[in-house]
Amino acid sequence: MSLSGGPLRVLPLGGLGEIGKNMTVVEYEDRIVLVDVGLRFPTAEMMGIDLVLPDFAYLRGRVSDIEAIVVTHGHEDHLGCLPFLLRELGVDDAPPVYGGPLTMAMARSKLDEHKLARDVHVEDVKDGEIIECGPFDVELIHMTHSIPDASAVALKSELGTILVTGDYKFDQTPVDGRPADVSRLAELGREGLLLLCGDSTNGDRPGFAPSEKVAGPNLRDVFSRCKGRIVVTSFASNIHRVQQVVDAAAALDRKIVLVGRSMRKNTNIGRTLGHIELPEGIVIGPREMSDYPDHRLVVISTGSQGEPLSALRRMAHRDHPQVELHSGDTVVFSATPIPGNERAVNETIDRLYHIGCDVITTKDAPIHASGHGYQEEIKLMLNLTRPRYLMPVHGDHKRIRLHAEMAEALGIAAEDIFRGDNGLPLEIDSDGARFGERQRSGMFFVDGIELGDPTESAMRDRRALSADGIMFVVATVSADEGNTVADHEIVLRGVPIAAEEGAFLAEVREAIEDSLDRAADDDVHAVELIEKILHDDLAEFVYKRLRRRPMILPVVVEV
């Protein structure tokens, strides 16, 4: 294996030290191929945030250097950032986007939602086809995952070949009958693989992941014991799982109702591409549910991760416009929580029990199979590809470390294993491999339709509002004397008051008067200074009185 030329840089902008927002910059001779453009969903403390994206500031000044964007598969944590990235970088110079047919169908759908479809070249790529991207020859290699058309990406340059595995497991009996291309992986190993960037998600789980095919019979068994309506929640992109739910429903003479925009959209895409077969007449609309008895219905819904605006979450909070859950319904979670989502999922489950639903999760029955390989499959990938260097990716720091320890046990030298971090580039040249100078990385927040840096002050304000509420105070004073000339207006929103509210407001008015008197005694006349004094005095008073720190917004009006 020749190591002439270089350096070759691999810069993760997301996906290391976390599960989600995968984005990797592969750079050689000042040309870039971007592998995956993912996002993740906000955690509970990210008040009001809709989506979390990688910080792609590194790419802003280098749009013309990007030869291509290659997407391994259609899950949100690998594809969801695409329209935001292209909108921010500018579609006039947008690089082409490549991936498998289902992946690109999902990409076109996303771009169409953002009115970018006409401006971006999106191209389907067959497994084994070579795409020339500047100094790289890029090849997609078929893998098995929990979505069709999942691929590893091999990037060949003069310096050597990098393999980004994407998400994978070695499923020997996949639903579509297409196991991973093990022979091509072994061939890359024989040719000499320079660097493996390998999935670490299930690095803490011993053995082999169960086949996706085992979920189908178990779902049918669960359905057969349910007397009322069944609501199944899974990832909308898990098209094989949707097919297995449809098969189980059809076998028991139940109708299917698709709930959730992404569930309907992805099912239609899967049907168009031949990944899903729906028996004639099995799908009905939500408004037709009242035409059938409960024991004839299966609802397939989004919301398996407890996402705030998802269909199942809204059902659990009795806020869904079309489906109202009731006692006797059975909700089946055909998914496991992504690390970090456990709290939201548990809250949703508890709400379902409160309604009177029965809930079945993977703890109760084997109704889910992970799309990520367990420890023995990670070892198999390492033994097949035999990389010169390894950089574990797609995992938190615990799983990355476990991946590295497995590689050492298989004979890869510790100095050839690079446990990286977002923003830390791995540089490879004729002298070997090492970490380079750290680059900017982090998060962008999508808040409504706006995209920007996460401002700690905004998050702090939102946390304060959620915990202690807000107090508006309007004080009207004489411009000449500074004394009060009208009743003070006080509005409380979300401020926890244990005692009588009227008595508390009377105390607040006295505190306002004392504060204004103090400002007058100190000969303070500037409105902004009076407002600051009023803010500080009220904050101190409310804390002593309630042991709370609501946001206080004083307004002083001079007349």
Give the domain CATH number at 332: 3.40.50.10710
Mean pLDDT of 174-186: 95
Alpha carbon separation from 434 to 168, 189, 300, 423, 431 (Å, rounded)? 27, 22, 48, 14, 9
Assess whether pLDDT exceeds 80 at residue 500. no
Domain count across the chain: 3
CATH number at residue 498: 3.10.20.580
Amino acid at 170: F
- pLDDT of the residue at 93: 81
Whether residue 7 is preceded by a cis peptide bond, meaning omega within 30 degrees of 0, is: yes
Q: How confident is the model at residue 1, as a pLDDT?
A: 39
The confidence score (pLDDT) of residue 68 equals 97
* Cβ atoms within 10 Å, residue 417: 19
Q: Is the model more confident about 489 or about 2? A: 489
Asked if residue 52 belongs to a domain, the reply is yes
* Catalytic annotation, pick one of 55, 199, 329, 537: 199
Residues 179, 269: one domain? Answer: no
Domain boundary among the residues 429, 448, 479 is at 429
Same-domain check for residues 151 and 251: no
Helices 239-251 + 215-224 axis angle, to 10: 40
Specify if 3 maps to a domain. Answer: no
413 in the same domain as 320: no
Say what the pLDDT of residue 502 is. 76
Task: Quote the pLDDT of residue 2.
Answer: 43
Type of residue found at 411: G
Residue 444 lies in a domain: no
According to the model, what pLDDT value does residue 88 have? 87
450, part of any domain: no
Q: How confident is the prediction for the chain on average, in pLDDT?
A: 89
Q: Are residues 216 and 203 in the same domain?
A: no
Are 199 and 55 in the same domain? Answer: yes
Greater model confidence, 279 or 498: 279
For the question of residue 372 being annotated catalytic, the response is: yes
**What amino acid occupies position 440?**
R
Q: What is the predicted pLDDT for the residue at 553?
A: 86
Q: What is the 3-state secondary structure (H, E, C) of 22-64?
A: CEEEEEECCEEEEECCCCECCCCCCCCCCEEEECCHHHHCCHH
CB neighbour class for 133 (10 Å; exposed up to 12, middle 13-18, buried from 19) = buried
Q: Which of 309, 325, 360 is the endpoint of a domain? A: 360
Task: Give the residue-averaged pLDDT of 530-556.
Answer: 84
Average pLDDT over residues 183-195: 98
Active-site residue among 73, 142, 372, 403? 372
Residues 46 and 139 in one domain: yes
pLDDT the model gives residue 513: 84
Burial 178-205 (b: 16+ CB within 10 A, else e): eebbbebbeebbeeebbbbbbbbbbbeb
Band of residue 249 on the pLDDT scale cut at 50, 70, 90 = very high
Is residue 267 assigned to a domain? yes
pLDDT value at 205 more than 50? yes
Confidence of residue 44 (pLDDT cuts 50, 70, 90): low
DSSP string of 471-524? EEEEEEE-TTT--B-SPPEEEEES----S-HHHHHHHHHHHHHHHHHHHHHTT-
Active site residue 364: no
Residue 534 is part of which domain span? 456-558
Q: Do 182 and 279 belong together in one domain?
A: no
Sheet strands side by side (includes 551-558): 489-493, 470-477, 551-558
Q: What is the pLDDT of residue 3?
A: 45
- Is residue 451 one of the residues assigned to a domain? no
Which of these ranges, 7-21, 173-187, 468-482, 505-519, has the smallest mean pLDDT? 468-482
Domain boundary among 360, 382, 401: 360
Residue 203 shares a structural domain with residue 220: no
Is there a single domain that holds both residue 378 and residue 349?
no
Instruction: Please give the Cα distance from 416 to 329 (Å, whole number).
Output: 54
Say yes or no: 203 and 216 in one domain: no
Is 540 a domain residue?
yes
Beta strands 330-333 and 297-301 are unpaired
Are 253 and 299 members of one domain?
yes
- Is there a domain that residue 435 lies in? no
Single-letter residue type at 209? A
Residues 23 and 161 in one domain: yes
